[in-house]
Structure formats: C-alpha cells, structure tokens
Amino acid sequence: MKVAIVINTSWNIYNFRLGLVKALIDSGHEVVAIAPEDDYSRLLVENGCKFVAVSMDTQGVNPIKDLKLVYNLWKTYRKIAPDVILQYTIKPNIYGSLAARLLKIPVINNVSGLGTVFLKKNLLSGISKLLYRIAFLSPKRVFFQNEDDRKLFLDRKLVKPEKTALLPGSGINLQRFSQLPMPDSGGFSFLLISRIIQDKGIREFIEAIRLLRSENVNARFQVLGAKDPKHKRGIPLAEIDQWVTGGLIEYLGTTDDVQSFISSAHCVLLPSYREGTPRTLLEAAATGRPLIASDVPGCREVVKHGYNGLLCEVKSAEDLAGKMKDMMNFEDEMLTEMGNNSRKLVENNFDEQIVINKYCQTIRSLDKKS
C-alpha cells in the first residue's frame, strides 16, 4: 500500500515516527511523508521515504489560512493518491480529515495532545470542538494517548466509541534510549525538557526555583528546548534572558542528542498543564531517571507517584518546589530504585514496537477490506 504520514513538522516525523516509517517500508509499503520542509526532510528521504512539502501555519487559528490548508492537503492527497493516510497533531487531524473525506481516502488519526482548546471555554474553543466533531466522522481509527483524552472526546460526542483505541504515546526505541547510571557528582541537577511556552509550566518552574533559592537550596536547574516567543503562550526572549543572567536557570538550547543531557541529570521534570503522553518523560524514564510531573492527564501515565517519581499539583509553584526538595532529600539508593522503576515502566508499557504493531494491524485490516 501507499501510506502517507502527515504531521506539522518533518522534525516530528524523523524524531518520533522514524521507527514506524522503517517498519512500514520493511513490510513492503511505500511511505510518503507530508509536512512543512525543514532540515529533517532530507533525512526522511535518506531513510527511504518520499517527501512532499506542504506549508502549515501552526500558530493558532486563522480561517483564511486554515481553508487554504484544507485545499492544499486536498490537492496533495489527490496527486499522491495514497491508500491510507496517518495523521498527527491538531491541524492535520482536523483539516487533513476534511480533505481526505472529499477524496474518500481512509484515515487513521492520532490525538497526541489536546492543546489549549480544551483548557478554556470560549468561542474559539467551541468552534474547534465543532470542527473536531465534523472531521472525526470519517476516520477509520482515532488513536488516543491516554484514557482521559479519549473519555473527553467521547463525553462530548466528538468521535464514535467504536472508532477509538489507545496507544502508549509514540513509543520509545529501547535500544536507542538505553538505561544509563546516575551521575556521580557535580551537585544535584534538575532538567526540564520542553518547548519554552507557558502551558508546559515554565513559569511555575521558575517560581519554584526562586522559592528554593530563598531557602538556600543548592542545586542546578537546567532547561533544554526551543524558545518560541511567537507562540500565543510563548515566553518573551527578554524574560528568558533575565532568568539566565539572574542565575535561576542554565539554558541548554536545543539538541538532536537529548539523552546526553538526560544522563547528566538526577531528575527530569515537566510541570505541564496537560499532555498526550509526554515524549520527554518517556525518554528520561527509558534512561533510568526519577521524574517529577504535574498530576494531569498524560503525565500521570508515565509518573507513578512514589514508584518512579513524584506528582505535583498543576500550576502550583509551591507544591512543585516541595516535590523538588523531597527528591533532593532522597537517599542515593532511593533515587536509583526510582530510576530502575522508570525503566521497567517504559519496557512494560511504552515500547515503540507496541505502537508499530497496532498501526500495522490497523493498516492490514484496511487492506483486507479493500
């Protein structure tokens, strides 16, 4: 079959779906990646994909641009004529489904996170939910990454129950992310891996650091991830610079080798407001690190309180600071045990092969029906 994979960045396909891409190619399928062109588009081609560029504005809702995206996806799908389309992230899920429906091409969607649409109640939120309800009439399967998200869609009648199924995120390649020993020295180090936007709990993290500093807590606080000041809930560059120059955080920039940074940390955290299944926590867990995260959908699937980490109250800098202090006060044996438990959790529940198998089974079922 000819299988199209549609996401809002080529980077996303290469970093999170390459295992699926290779498995599909190895099974004899032709894979076409459809995404905005970036530095990773070429790497997809080198790994056996065909690549088709499509422009996609990921910064909020713009009716004119979004209608244009429906048209561009329809035109692309008609030209490529795939047998099935795998779609990820909000705009491909909604607008790609509308385009594919016009062409009667089977679609498999993946709801990897709800964004802020479901965190607020306003006109935009209502319109977005209506678009989901219309778009999700046609997909053959809609995968969710946690039960809370699936229940929310079902409760609001945005998708029919028989179309839905659960996946453990994008899965983790356990060979690529091997377990590594805890760092020996250099003082206790916390690492937050995230795009620097408000919804990831960045400001709560900064306030927690201020609280810990006021108590003379001695630790390193590092942030790894892209600055995104143009995002609706992005953090101004001047504010980030103040955090760095004021000695609150070490900003590590971005990387293609995230595990080398995880290996130097004693604890990886993510005080996010809501997630699908956070990839950064899965990567840290696979490396064998204790975790701290907000007690919200997505995060609580990866962090089991007292087993492989600690859960904190969402949007509470005070509680986050308390959990960070608790983590620092654990004996080395406890930290090692939590790290080992993180690895076990990933091995048992989040192996990439689980995700690959479910996609291959669903695609085979479509092939038989045709």
Summary mean pLDDT of the chain:
92
Residue 291: φ, ψ to 5°? -130, 155
Quickly tell me which residue has 């065909």 as its tokens: 50
Question: pLDDT tens, 168-217?
Answer: 888 999 999 999 999 987 789 999 999 999 999 999 999 999 999 999 99
Q: Confidence class of residue 61 from pLDDT cuts 50, 70 and 90? A: low
Closest CA to 349 of 296, 281, 293: 281
- Check pLDDT > 80 for residue 250: yes
Tokens of 339: 């790290």
Cβ neighbours for 94, distance < 8 A, ≥ 6 positions apart: 128, 131, 132, 135
Q: Confidence class of residue 112 from pLDDT cuts 50, 70 and 90? A: confident
Closest CA to 293 of 150, 158, 353, 279: 279
Tell me if 2-171+351-369 shares its fold with 189-349: yes
- Check pLDDT > 60 for residue 75: yes
Average pLDDT value for residue range 72-87: 97
Q: Which pLDDT does position 369 carry in this prediction?
A: 58
Report how far residue 124's alpha carbon sits from residue 121's, in angstroms, rounded to the nearest whole number.
8
Q: Which pLDDT does position 167 carry in this prediction?
A: 92
Could you say which architecture CATH assigns to the domain 189-349? 3-Layer(aba) Sandwich (3.40)
**pLDDT more than 70, % of the chain:** 95
Q: Are 27 and 360 in contact (CB under 8 A)?
A: yes
CATH class of 2-171+351-369: alpha beta
Q: How many CB atoms lie within 10 A of CB 198?
A: 15
Cα distances from 161 to residues 86, 100, 109, 250, 268, in angstroms, run 19, 21, 14, 45, 35
Report how far residue 186's alpha carbon sits from residue 182's, in angstroms, rounded to the nearest whole number.
12
Report how far residue 42's alpha carbon sits from residue 226's, in angstroms, rounded to the nearest whole number.
21
Q: Confidence class of residue 126 from pLDDT cuts 50, 70 and 90? A: confident
Q: Which pLDDT does position 263 carry in this prediction?
A: 96
- Check pLDDT > 60 for residue 370: no
Average pLDDT value for residue range 255-272: 96
Q: Which pLDDT does position 83 carry in this prediction?
A: 96
Closest CA to 319 of 245, 197, 230, 212: 212
**pLDDT more than 90, % of the chain:** 82
Q: Confidence class of residue 117 from pLDDT cuts 50, 70 and 90? A: low
Average pLDDT value for residue range 73-99: 95
Collapsing DSSP to helix, strand or coil, 208 comes out as helix
Q: What is the DSSP string of 54-94?
A: -----SS--HHHHHHHHHHHHHHHHHH--SEEEEESHHIII
The DSSP output letter for 234 is: B
Q: Which pLDDT does position 300 carry in this prediction?
A: 93
Tokens of 179: 């377990």
Beta strands in 135-261 (DSSP E): 141-144, 164-166, 189-193, 220-224, 250-251
- Check pLDDT > 80 for residue 124: no
Average pLDDT value for residue range 218-247: 93
Q: Are 32 and 52 in contact (CB under 8 A)?
A: yes
Average pLDDT value for residue range 31-60: 92
Report how far residue 282's alpha carbon sits from residue 168's, in angstroms, rounded to the nearest whole number.
10
- Check pLDDT > 70 for residue 60: no
Q: Which pLDDT does position 170 carry in this prediction?
A: 84
Quickly tell me which residue has 């699926």 as its tokens: 20
Report how far residue 79's alpha carbon sits from residue 305's, in angstroms, rounded to the nearest whole number.
50
Q: Which pLDDT does position 64 carry in this prediction?
A: 80
Q: Confidence class of residue 115 from pLDDT cuts 50, 70 and 90? A: low
Q: Confidence class of residue 355 from pLDDT cuts 50, 70 and 90? A: very high
Q: Which pLDDT does position 127 carry in this prediction?
A: 79
Beta strands in 118-206 (DSSP E): 141-144, 164-166, 189-193
Residue 215: φ, ψ to 5°? -100, 15
Report how far residue 75's alpha carbon sits from residue 67's, in angstroms, rounded to the nearest whole number.
12
Report how far residue 129's alpha carbon sits from residue 234's, in angstroms, rounded to the nearest whole number.
23
Q: Which pLDDT does position 204 carry in this prediction?
A: 98
- Check pLDDT > 60 for residue 128: yes
Q: Confidence class of residue 94 from pLDDT cuts 50, 70 and 90? A: very high
Cβ neighbours for 200, distance < 8 A, ≥ 6 positions apart: 192, 194, 270, 271, 272, 273
Q: Which pLDDT does position 119 carry in this prediction?
A: 61
Report how far residue 231's alpha carbon sits from residue 330's, in angstroms, rounded to the nearest whole number.
37
- Check pLDDT > 70 for residue 319: yes
- Check pLDDT > 90 for residue 284: yes
Domain boundaries, the chain: 2-171+351-369, 189-349
